[in-house]
Homo-oligomer: A and B are copies of this chain.
């Protein structure tokens, strides 16, 4: 089962962010197992038609976070252990994005029920990510 990755160039979400998210989601769904080898920077850059620097940065970020591991001369692999944040730490780290999202939503006139709804839809679309045909996202 090859890792499915796709990017959207016109999106406001940076490419490296899109790739990180998809790798983390693949891990969460069990499509990527600990110890599994990742595509090389060049291979993935060619496959996604992006700048190799962007892939290099993506891998660097994930290595720094303990999600991936580099083995000199061999390549990049899925790490055996993933960092586990305490609930408090996770809450601290999500606070900013949560504030920005909810504040903007309220400001735009979304009702609480609507906010719950768009979050749910986004979560559903992420969960169904692998079912989507490549290249036809609605963004």
Binding site for B on A (CB under 8 A): 9-14, 17, 20-22, 24-25, 27-28, 61, 64-67, 69-72, 74, 77, 80-86, 88-110, 112, 115-116, 118-120, 122-123, 126-127, 139
Question: Which of chain B's residues have a CB closer than 8 A to the CB of A122?
Answer: 98-99, 102
Inter-subunit contact B96/A13 (CB<8 Å): yes
Inter-subunit contact A64/B67 (CB<8 Å): no
Assembly of this chain: how many copies?
4
Question: Which of chain B's residues have a CB closer than 8 A to the CB of A13?
Answer: 96, 99-100, 103
Q: Given A24-B103, A103-B28: A109 and B97 within 8 A (CB)?
A: no
A64 to B12, CA, bound (A): 12
Q: Given A71-B9, A84-B89, A109-B85: A101 and B101 within 8 A (CB)?
A: yes
Inter-subunit contact B14/A103 (CB<8 Å): no
